Amino acid sequence: MRGFKAFIIKEIKENTRNYRFFILGIVFAVVGLLSPLSARFLPELLSNMIDENITIILSDPTYIDSWMQFFSNMNQMALVAFVLVFSSILSKEYDKGTLVHMVTKGLPRLTIYYAKFTVMLVSWTFFFWMSFAITLGYTFYYFPEGTTDGLFLSVGSLYLFGILLIALLMSSAAFFSTVFAPLLTVGGFLAVLFILNLFPFIEEWSPLQLASRNTELLIRTNADTALNQSLFVSALLILFFLVIGSIKFRKKALN
């Protein structure tokens, strides 16, 4: 793995100096803060806005609401921001021809591919769990009665779903050369998952469960067959995406 470390350092410098890490740090921290805040704040805000003559029954928010907000913010803001920020992970290099120097100096293409994936994976891991830790801390503070039962399963599922999308992003960046193609691929993949969910048989195998059943898992606190199938399929897909991407990248024209 000659050059793996050097290339990783280059990636870290790049992402730091191009403000990518900075932006992701802020976005993920905001998601971590916003989730318990909006869980706590929204019902009160609603009851203040509504006419006093109308009585609606708003149950008091619980720690479940806080995590519900976390899952939805993580899906709709943080994960989207992450994919957007890293969508140019290879296209910029193709565009400028900067990889040519690396390859002609004997840096194996697989090293480039997996170094880039590693940087994304480690960033996702760091930012995701940082965001999680913030939400966890505040959820305890505001909803001391909450438990952590089922938390790992439901949050871990979402984390794995993120890895699946990152693997797909990396793979499609090997196949296509533009910035938009990887974004379209990830978007298209999600669209296909949603459509396939119309068929119950596919739904119980679909990786989409990892991002859609989180609140339910938090309450159930254990996995059922469908979730296990989903975890299995997701793991296979991650491997599949990575492998076909690396095969393609080994033979890609770089100039």
Partner 1 sequence: MAILEISNLSKAFGNQTVLKDVTFSVEEGSVFGFIGRNGAGKTTTMTIALGLLKADDGSIKINGKTVQYGDTETNNYVGYLPDVPEFYPFLTAREYMELSAEISGIEKKEAAEKITELLVMVGLEDNKKRIKNYSRGMKQRLGIAQALINDPLLLICDEPTSALDPIGRQQLLSILKKVKEKTTVIFSTHILSDVESVCDEVAILNDGRIVKQGTVKQLKAGLASEKWMVVCEEEEHGRLLLEAISTDDAFHDVTLNGPVVNGESTDGRDAMGKLLAHLNALSITPVRIERKEATMEEVFVEAIK
Partner 2 sequence: MMQTISDYLPILIPLFILQLVLLVTAIIHLSKNDRLTQQNKIIWALVIVFINIIGPIIYLVFGRKED
Applying CB under 8 A, the residues found at the interface with partner 2 are 18-19, 22-23, 26-27, 29-30, 33-34, 36-37, 40-41, 44, 81, 84-85, 92, 96, 138, 141
Q: Which is nearer to partner 1, 16 or 125 (CB)?
A: 16
For the bound state, the minimum distance from the C-beta of residue 180 to partner 2, rounded and expressed in Å, comes to 14
For 12, the token pair is 């870290």
The torsion defined by the Cα of 125, 18, 88 and 169, in degrees rounded to 10, comes to: 0
**Nearest CA among 121, 197, 188 for reference residue 160:** 121
| Residue 165 binding target from partner 1, partner 2, none, CB below 5 to 8 Å by type | none
Residue 243 interacts with partner 1 (CB under 8 A)?
no
**Which of the listed partners (partner 2, partner 1, none) does 119 bind, with a CB threshold of 5 to 8 Å by partner kind?**
none
Distances, alpha carbon 52 to alpha carbons 15, 48, 59, 60, in Å: 52, 8, 17, 18
Min dist CB 42 to partner 1, Å, is 41
Q: Could you tell me the smallest distance in angstroms from the CB atom of residue 255 to partner 1?
A: 5
| Closest separation in Å from C-beta 121 to partner 2 | 21
Q: How far is the CB of 89 from partner 1 (least distance, A)?
A: 14
Token readout for 253 is 């024209």
The packing angle between helices 180-196 and 79-86, to 10°, is 140
For residue 59, the 8-state DSSP code is: P
Counted residue by residue, the chain has a size of: 255
Binding partner selected for residue 42 from partner 2, partner 1, none, CB under the kind-specific 5 to 8 Å limit? none
Cα→Cα distances 7→105, 116, 159, 192, 242, Å: 12, 8, 25, 35, 19
Of 106 and 144, the one with the shorter C-beta distance to partner 1 is 106
Residues 5-44 close enough to bind partner 1 by CB under 8 A: 5-7, 9-10, 13-14, 17-18
| 36, interface contact from partner 1, partner 2, none, CB < 5-8 Å by kind | partner 2
Query: Rounded to the nearest whole angstrom, what is the least distance from the CB of residue 37 to partner 2 in the complex?
Result: 5
CA 43 to the chain's CA centroid: 28
By beta-carbon proximity to partner 2, the closer residue of 85 and 119 is: 85
Which entry of partner 1, partner 2, none binds 5, CB below 5 to 8 A by partner kind? partner 1
Instruction: Verify binding: residue 98, partner 1, rule CB under 8 A.
Output: yes
Residue 68 and residue 43 in contact, taking contact as beta carbons nearer than 8 Å: no
- DSSP sequence for 72-138: HHIIIIIHHHHHHHHTTTTHHHHHHTHHHHHHHTT--HHHHHHHHHHHHHHHHHHHHHHHHHHHHHH
- Our finding on whether 224 is near partner 1 (CB under 8 A) is no
Report in angstroms how near the CB of residue 14 gets to partner 1 at its nearest: 5
Contact 121, 205 (CB under 8 A): no
